[in-house]
Amino acid sequence: MSGKGVGASVPRTEDDRFLRGRGQYVADWRVPGTREVAFVRSPVAHARLRGVRVPEGCAGRVFTAADLVGVKPVRAITSIKGFKLSSEPILATGKLRFVGEIVAVCVAETRAEAEDLAEQVELDLEELPAVSDMLEARRPGAPLVHEEWGDNVFIETVEDRGMTDEVLAAPLKITREIRTARQCMFPMEGRGALAFFDARLRYLTLVSATQMPHIVQLGVADCLGLPDSAVRVISPDVGGGFGYKGLLCREEVVLGWLAQTLGHPVRWLEDCREHLTANANCREHHYVVTGYATREGRLLGVDCVAHVDAGAYSVYPTSAALEASMVASLIPGPYDFRAYRCRSAAVATTKCPILPYRGVGRTGVCLAIEAVMDGIAREIGVEPHEVRRRNLVRPEQMPYDNVMGRHFDGGDYPESLRRAVEGIGLDAIRARQARGEPDGRLIGVGVAIFCEQGAHGTTVLASWGRPVVPGWEQAIARLTVDGDLEIRVGTHSHGQGHETTFAQVAHEVLGVPFERIRVMQGDTLYTPFSTATWGSRSMVMGGGAVAEACRILGERAKTIGAWLMQADAADVSVSEGCVTSASASVTLAEVARAWYLQPQHLPPGVDTGGLEVTAGYRAKRDSGTFSYATHAVCVAVDPGTGLVEILDYVVVEDGGVLINPMIVDGQIRGGTVQGIGTGLFEAVPFDAQGQPLASTLIDYLLPGAADVPEIRVLHMETPSPNTTFGAKGIGEGGAIGPPAALVSAVNDALRPLGVELQGVPLGPERILEAIAAAARKGGDA
């Protein structure tokens, strides 16, 4: 092998075009005759829409719901018992339910002209009381988002496993109330779509910045009343997704309808205000969580009441049930206890729908259970990491089924914790705290450990009641006439480097020179159907499918190559791009030449499928893999300004066998920066009228280079026994741990002042308020 197979830190193939400005995004597509689109959006959170007045002379350029005859609403259907269905009209009719909801669409030669048209459209509104807080939305008499429901609850999930009076009478009872802010996802490229009818191929073609091309194909076809086979979705280079582009959005349906109706191409590119206020909210949770423990800090049980603000509608295909249901199943985390109770609700409010964001549900869950661990440590007077160590699932217990039946497929969680504590230099930090800082700042250290279920298979997703359940992930492998290898996959990269890692897998199996392997993705016309890229599944499922397709292709090549060498097929092997026997070899290019150009040299009974293979893959146990990590952070907090500086950051992760450790490092560091944003900076607040108060990057603060230290990533590799090469998936993990670790560290720093903060973000104002409140309390005492 050339050293470019599984386990090699191969530079990313795609970076050559990205770094030279040659990437091809939706905004780079040019189709003659394209018109630009702008949307009229609701200025209020809750109102009766009594009418829409379109300016005179705008016929054929401005369209409302009345024009979209026969277009069906977006309906995220799930079979989960008790779930209340919402119908999201493509253009609003009857009632408006959040600021930014689409009411009309305007088409013009340029975006500026389309926006000018939108300014002239007048809305006749009867404003209704808004409900912008999920807890208020559950109170009797709260305004109803969907009157037909009778309340504001999409779904409420109840789990009760082994919670006995004996557990409830435990010596220690630690309760914490935690709230996480709404965030905005903010990939470098926002949403965008270009729609046109391809007269030659007879497809309604949608070029969209999506991470789920086949799902968008299904959704657009359904809403427009078309057969799936009449819609083609092309997803070119995608500049980040994080879940934001893992759904069907109204704009895609509107553009499809416009292209059909007007007979010319139309394009929409999201702007920053649309992104922040109307399209990209996520991660707003509330927890009241109680841990029951022994005097030695051994956790006996956990009781939790959780709420998720799901906004006004369910998103397709995940539904509003996803996050609340996951919260209920994920609270136990990596800990070993047997009594658990949780009531978790997805609540409707007059805000834009919440979307699944990197680490769906796990970031808040990690914060909640780790706050309990820190509370136990405070109560019994030991180091927080020691309480965690006493409660973690041990390696000798693996494989392990936790209290919720989640099957941990292997690992050494205590060792991950030990390495992180050692890596951050805990003893030195404690000594530094004792000395004090010359500038008066307070030093703190925090840890957080979590596990991440990825590569969910049919068994898990069917139980979630999803309308589209993943099955056998497929890949296509084709040997070309000149011996190059083409790989086609249904998963789709939005920054993960699949063009590189899938080529590494193929190279590992067949030995075709790495530079002669092409990975094709993002086009429903040429790639196998897939639920695509989400939930840390692509390397496990897509990579497994690539390996299987290449293995079968190799067997076919062996048959032909052995015949060409007059050897027994059982005595030859495929490696280094050749079919080799004990005494000779032929290249795969020679095998391809025989198949395509010189069939007289083929053996009798050759597989007539030739040198193109479609193969499916599913893990041996498809309940998912479990990667895990420990995050350790050292911070300095200025009690005069409330500012937090991150001094050091260590991540110890175990994602099974790493296909490309360099890409994994990038994934972990990128995710950690996002988690730092969650912990310290990012929030989309709303006022009592449901107005979002962060509509520009002046209002919404993202972490910058100066806010992020050098993140040290240390690897452990515990192969999964259930997957090809032992990979576990690692795409979301970096974003899960930072908020919990940062809260732990800031509280450690502020402990001398009697301060304990819960929830995120930990902005300066919040820290100063907590310090002032503690000072007043101390004065009263």
Write the CATH number for 649.
3.30.365.10
Across 458-584, where does the E strand assignment appear?
Answer: 473-479, 485-489, 517-520, 573-575, 578-580
Q: Is residue 366 part of a domain?
A: yes
Cis bond leading into 513, ω under 30°? no
Cis bond leading into 761, ω under 30°? yes
Q: Are residues 265 and 291 in the same domain?
A: no
Q: Measured between alpha carbons, how far is 379 from 542 in angstroms, rounded to an integer? A: 47
Q: Measured between alpha carbons, how far is 366 from 327 in angstroms, rounded to an integer? A: 10
Closest by CA to 479, choosing from 528, 512, 526, 523, is 512
567, 582, 617 - which closes a domain = 617
- Residue-level pLDDT at 402: 97
Q: Is residue 558 part of a domain?
A: yes
- Residue-level pLDDT at 496: 95
CB 761 within 8 A of CB 681: yes
CB 591 within 8 A of CB 545: no
Q: Is residue 428 part of a domain?
A: yes
Closest by CA to 352, choosing from 76, 34, 691, is 691
Q: Are residues 259 and 293 in the same domain?
A: no
- The torsion angles phi and psi of 347, rounded to 5 degrees, stand at -110, 135
Q: Is residue 164 part of a domain?
A: no
Q: Are residues 746 and 693 in the same domain?
A: yes
Q: Measured between alpha carbons, how far is 409 from 723 in angstroms, rounded to an integer? A: 10
Question: What single-letter DSSP state applies at residue 134?
Answer: T
- Residue-level pLDDT at 780: 58
Positions in the chain short of pLDDT 50: 1, 781
Contacts with 583 (C-beta within 8 Å, 6 or more apart), sequence order: 567
Q: Are residues 610 and 575 in the same domain?
A: yes
Q: Is residue 492 part of a domain?
A: yes
* 447 SS3 class: strand
222, 257, 279 - which closes a domain = 279
Q: Are residues 649 and 517 in the same domain?
A: no
Q: Which helix (H) or strand (E) holds 254?
A: helix 250-262
Q: Are residues 299 and 214 in the same domain?
A: no
Q: What is the model's pTM?
A: 0.96
Longest dimension (CA), the chain: 97
- Residue-level pLDDT at 502: 98
Q: Is residue 765 part of a domain?
A: yes
Q: Which residue has the tokens 């998963």?
A: 491
Residues spanned by the domain of 360: 281-458+621-780
Contacts with 598 (C-beta within 8 Å, 6 or more apart), sequence order: none
Question: Tens of pLDDT along 375-433?
Answer: 999 999 999 999 999 999 999 999 999 999 999 999 999 999 999 999 999 999 999 99
Handedness of CA 204, 235, 216, 257 (dihedral sign): negative
Question: Tens of pLDDT along 601-657?
Answer: 999 989 999 999 999 999 999 889 999 999 999 999 999 999 999 999 999 999 999
- Residue-level pLDDT at 460: 82
CB 444 within 8 A of CB 408: no
- Residue-level pLDDT at 781: 45
Handedness of CA 219, 224, 229, 234 (dihedral sign): negative
Q: Which residue has the tokens 């020179």?
A: 513
Q: Which residue has the tokens 């893990």?
A: 619
Q: Are residues 97 and 223 in the same domain?
A: yes
Q: Is residue 25 part of a domain?
A: no
Phi-psi region of 159 (alpha: psi -120 to 50; beta: other; left: phi over 0): beta
CB 402 within 8 A of CB 709: no
Structure tokens at 349: 């409010």
Q: Are residues 232 and 264 in the same domain?
A: yes
617, 648, 667 - which closes a domain = 617
* 656 SS3 class: strand
Structure tokens at 711: 């993140």
3-state per-residue secondary structure call for 61-125: CEEEHHHCCCCCCEECCCCCCCCCCCEECCCCCCEECCCCCEEEEEEECCHHHHHHHHHHCEEEE
Cβ count within 10 A of residue 605: 8
Which one-letter amino acid corresponds to residue 522? G
Q: Are residues 113 and 257 in the same domain?
A: yes
Q: Measured between alpha carbons, how far is 213 from 493 in angstroms, rounded to an integer? A: 11
Q: Is residue 317 part of a domain?
A: yes
Cis bond leading into 599, ω under 30°? no
How many structural domains is the chain composed of? 3
Number of Cα atoms under 13 Å in the Cβ half of residue 740: 30
- For Cα atoms 240, 242, 246, give the angle at the middle one, nearest 5 degrees: 100
Q: Measured between alpha carbons, how far is 604 from 88 in angstroms, rounded to an integer? A: 59
Q: Are residues 411 and 377 in the same domain?
A: yes
Q: Are residues 517 and 573 in the same domain?
A: yes
Structure tokens at 200: 């030659």
3-state per-residue secondary structure call for 499-516: HHHHHHHHHHHHCCCHHH
Measure the N-to-C terminal CA separation of the chain; round to a whole number of Å. Answer: 72
- Residue-level pLDDT at 779: 66
Structure tokens at 70: 């026969």
Handedness of CA 764, 244, 153, 159 (dihedral sign): negative
Beta bridge partners of 651: 631, 713
Q: Are residues 407 and 504 in the same domain?
A: no
* 349 SS3 class: coil
CB 635 within 8 A of CB 498: no
- Residue-level pLDDT at 259: 98
Q: Measured between alpha carbons, how far is 95 from 85 in angstroms, rounded to an integer? A: 16
Residue 195, domain CATH: 3.90.1170.50
